[in-house]
Structure 1
Amino acid sequence: MKFIRPIIYSAMAVVIGTSAFLLTSKQAISQTDPANQLHPTAYIETNEVSASFKVGGRVTEVLVKEGEPVKKGQVLARLQSTEIEAKVAQAKAAVSLAQGKIAEAQGATATAEAKKQQGIAGVNVTADTAEQQVAQAQAAVSAAQAKVDGLHNGARPEEKKQAEIQFKAASDVYAIAEQNLNRMNAMLEQGLVAQADVDKVKVSYQEAKTKRDLAEQQLNMANQGPREEEIRGAEALLEQAKAAVKLAEANRATVLVRQGDVTAAAAAVQQAEGAIMSAQSGEQQAKAAQLEAETYLSYTELLAPTDGVVLSQSAQAGELVGSGFPVFSMESTEKRWVKFYLPETAVAGLKVGNKINMSLLSTGEKVEGVVSIVAAAPDFAIKKATQTSGETDIRSFGIKVELNKLPDSATTGMTLQWIGKTEG
């Protein structure tokens, strides 16, 4: 046993020494071979991404398989969404209800505004009519007074002349009353005044007509000479005319009443406009709730984050998964690259943006890419100088080349060989 151990140790020493010599020789050949320095190789690389749901739930559908190519945005799987769909429907119903309230409030506003405008028109008409009625009644009083005075003084030429004047005044009052009645009837047809207002004007018209007829009779009596009953009749007409003046002056108060109606209608307009604003605010809140529910509903579909190939599947239909759980692992095919390591003596003048020619080692097909990174490699990649006179340390640089388009035969992990920078 004592003699076996030295033999074993000696054999191990020979093996180690031989290996060290061969390794040293290989490194020397590699460092001095220009082909290995200027035409290095690298593997095609890409990003590996995970596809996860934003919300947790039970998987109801799995729509892709491992190894299947997918496009960005493609639906990969779905979660159970009954409750969220119910919330979406509820939110849509709330939006419809809010929109109905807006329409209702807009209708109320239009109605209140119409009443306001109608009230304003009524105030103007009533004010004009009241002033006309006062003027009319005062004219009738003057005519009646003149009639009575004429009867008392007897029928003289002057009285006859006065009777003629009274008749003329009564005729003018009658003409005014007739014009007022015609105008009120026209406004009644347009819905601008009430029937009660027309009735008042109609009464004035009848009074004016009666007074005109009486004035005509008085004129006739002046020509024929007054009688006692005529005098009493004239005095009665005078009292009636005075009463008409008081009634016309009292009608002026209705203007204030109608102005109050206008104020109330304006307040109703403001209230209705406030209801519109409130309903619109409710609609905005309902739409926000609908958008939130629809957003959560969209989270129940798992979409491919990139173009690529499904590498692995971590959940099956029927399983519960949590938010962020990687259901699928994918290899992205949107962007692929290779990373070469060249000595600093071979990268002089190489810049980001240069086009690089390469070849697919397995088929010899040409591949083109663009330099995206030129960076010094770590210290362990520095080629140390030997004891030979004149040699210096040589540092390696990592050259990342993004691939424009790969042949159909190329897949991630295959080897590309550096040919060189494209001239021009």
Structure 2
Amino acid sequence: MRFIRPVIYSAMAVVIGTSALLLTSKQAISQTDSANQVHPTAYIETNEVSASFKVGGRVTEILVKEGNSVKKGQVLARLQSTEIEAKVAQAKAAVSLAQGKIAEAEGASATAHAKKQQGIAGVNVTADTAEQQVAQAQAAVSAAQAKVDALHNGARPEEKKQAEIQLKATTEVYTIAEQNLNRMNAMLEQGLVSQAEVDKVKVSYQEAKTKRDLAEQQYNMSNQGPREEEIRGAEAQLEQAKAALKLAEANRATVQVKQGDVAAAEAAVQQAQGAIKSAQSGEQQAKAAQMEAETYLSYTELLAPTDGIILSQSAQVGELVGSGFPVFSMESTDTRWVKFYMPETAVAGLKVGNKVNMTLLSTGEKVEGTVSTVAAAPDFAVKKATQTSGETDIRSFGIKLELNQLPDSATTGMTLQWNGKTEG
């Protein structure tokens, strides 16, 4: 027995040593395989976005439903826009009115400038140019005579046409103002607006009515012909021009021009220039109001913020929604991505921009992605070493891939398997 025990002990030692050697070799091989043969899986993911109106109002149209695919900029829904459309029309009318004031101011400027030039010419007249004064006086007689003849003949067709156009333009502005006043009175009865707002619109209505009435009077005058007092005034001007001609002929040597006439004409020119600038400023303000109204009108259409699929709908036709209320929830299809979690032994040398091959498990199709981020996972994802000799802690890394092109069969949520980095 004394000889058998040592033999048994020796045999046991050999068995234990051999087992330890095989276990150590197996662990080493296992670690090497895990470093080189990692094939984790992850899900296709995308961003979820909300589609909301920029202004609040009552929904009048819903143009898509859950599950529909939509393109960026596609109209998804509309709000009630009657009031805003009226404001756009009112703003356009204000622009037209401002442009009319600019034309009127430019005409006054041209007249004032002409008077200034006449005054300057008068200052430079001397006794040597008295004959020119006579000629001018004769021209004035001719002009006065032509005016008298024109008054006897009545308004020209062009003047009648201009009066008709002015009447039509002011009538359109008056009609819009009247519609706005009626609409505001109706809203006042419903308690939707204040009396102050109605009064403000009423002022615009009175102004439009006054201008329409003046234009109507002008139109009637152009069709009825000149009044008797206008004819008498023109004839008096003719007689005055004839008297001036006689005076010029009698006073060739004593021509006298007042410097004050030139100064007055210059002041009139400056005043006309100021009126032009004021009218141009009014036009800019009217255009800004028109642009603002048109911008608000565009806000009554809800546009898709991105290409995607409608996931859910949170409002129905007829409901009031506030600004920023998420009417639709969408799954964006602009960019899809996937995120793998892998041990550091498998991501060594992997960099942003590398191409990675994957397999779509549901169909077996190959998919390629581009590494966008390589980031260490939180501490709880660290694989701690056991007491076995030779093991070390292994940390996990999150690898995010942008999916370059997915097959038509792939949808969000499907599983991709990591095959490895593309060579080259």
TM-score (ref. length: structure 1): 0.66
Deviation at 1:187, TM superposition (A): 8.2
Instruction: Provide the rounded CA distance (Å) in 2 between the counterparts of 1:413 and 1:376.
Output: 24
Instruction: Provide the rounded CA distance (Å) in 2 between the counterparts of 1:418 and 1:81.
Output: 53
Aligned to 2:92: 92
> Structure 2 residue aligned with 1:199, among 246, 249, 259?
246
Is 1:185 the counterpart of 2:131 in the alignment?
A: no
Work out whether residues 51 and 303 of structure 2, in 8 Å CA contact, stay in contact via their aligned partners in 1: yes
Aligned to 1:295: 295
Instruction: Provide the rounded CA distance (Å) in 2 between the counterparts of 1:361 and 1:289.
Output: 58
Deviation at 1:285, TM superposition (A): 1.3
Work out whether residues 37 and 343 of structure 1, in 8 Å CA contact, stay in contact via their aligned partners in 2: no
Correspondence list, 1:164-313, <5 A: 180=131, 184-185=134-135, 188-189=138-139, 198-203=245-250, 251-252=254-255, 254-256=256-258, 259-313=259-313
Work out whether residues 309 and 332 of structure 2, in 8 Å CA contact, stay in contact via their aligned partners in 1: yes
Deviation at 1:126, TM superposition (A): 4.9
- Amino acid in structure 1 at the alignment position of 2:116: K
User: What are the Cα deviations for residues 194-223 of structure 1, in whole angstroms up to 9, with x where unaligned?
Assistant: 7656434544xxxxxxxxxxxxxxxxxxxx
Rate the CA distance shift 1:186–1:285 in 2: closer, same or farther, 3 A.
Answer: closer
Aligned to 2:23: none
Instruction: Provide the rounded CA distance (Å) in 1 between the counterparts of 2:73 and 2:248.
Output: 80
- Amino acid in structure 1 at the alignment position of 2:125: V
Deviation at 1:361, TM superposition (A): 1.1
Work out whether residues 353 and 371 of structure 2, in 8 Å CA contact, stay in contact via their aligned partners in 1: yes
Aligned to 1:134: none
Rate the CA distance shift 1:360–1:418 in 2: closer, same or farther, 3 A.
Answer: same
- Amino acid in structure 2 at the alignment position of 1:394: I
Instruction: Provide the rounded CA distance (Å) in 2 between the counterparts of 1:422 and 1:304.
Output: 36
User: What are the Cα deviations for residues 341-397 of structure 1, in whole angstroms up to 9, with x where unaligned?
Assistant: 111111111111111111211111111111110000011111111111000000010
Greater Rg by CA: 1
Residues matched between the structures, number: 299
Rate the CA distance shift 1:413–1:120 in 2: closer, same or farther, 3 A.
Answer: same
Q: Secondary structure at the match of 2:125?
A: helix
Is 1:335 the counterpart of 2:285 in the alignment?
A: no
Correspondence list, 1:50-199, <5 A: 50-126=50-126, 128-129=128-129, 180=131, 184-185=134-135, 188-189=138-139, 198-199=245-246
Deviation at 1:188, TM superposition (A): 4.6
Work out whether residues 356 and 420 of structure 1, in 8 Å CA contact, stay in contact via their aligned partners in 2: yes
Percent of aligned positions that are identical: 82
Instruction: Provide the rounded CA distance (Å) in 2 between the counterparts of 1:54 and 1:127.
Output: 76
User: What are the Cα deviations for residues 248-286 of structure 1, in whole angstroms up to 9, with x where unaligned?
Assistant: 77x34x322xx2222111111111111111111111111
Instruction: Provide the rounded CA distance (Å) in 1 between the counterparts of 2:324 and 2:265.
Output: 60
Deviation at 1:124, TM superposition (A): 1.9
Rate the CA distance shift 1:65–1:381 in 2: closer, same or farther, 3 A.
Answer: same
Rate the CA distance shift 1:92–1:398 in 2: closer, same or farther, 3 A.
Answer: same
Is 1:408 the counterpart of 2:408 in the alignment?
A: yes
Rate the CA distance shift 1:202–1:187 in 2: closer, same or farther, 3 A.
Answer: closer
User: What are the Cα deviations for residues 72-106 of structure 1, in whole angstroms up to 9, with x where unaligned?
Assistant: 11100001111111111111111111111111101
Work out whether residues 306 and 332 of structure 1, in 8 Å CA contact, stay in contact via their aligned partners in 2: yes
Rate the CA distance shift 1:35–1:348 in 2: closer, same or farther, 3 A.
Answer: closer
Question: What are structure 2's unaligned runs of at least 5 residues?
Answer: 1-28, 144-240
Instruction: Provide the rounded CA distance (Å) in 2 between the counterparts of 1:121 and 1:294.
Output: 51
User: What are the Cα deviations for residues 165-189 of structure 1, in whole angstroms up to 9, with x where unaligned?
Assistant: xxxxxxxxxxxxxxx37x8437854
Q: How big is the alpha-carbon RMSD for the aligned residues of Structure 1 and Structure 2?
A: 2.7
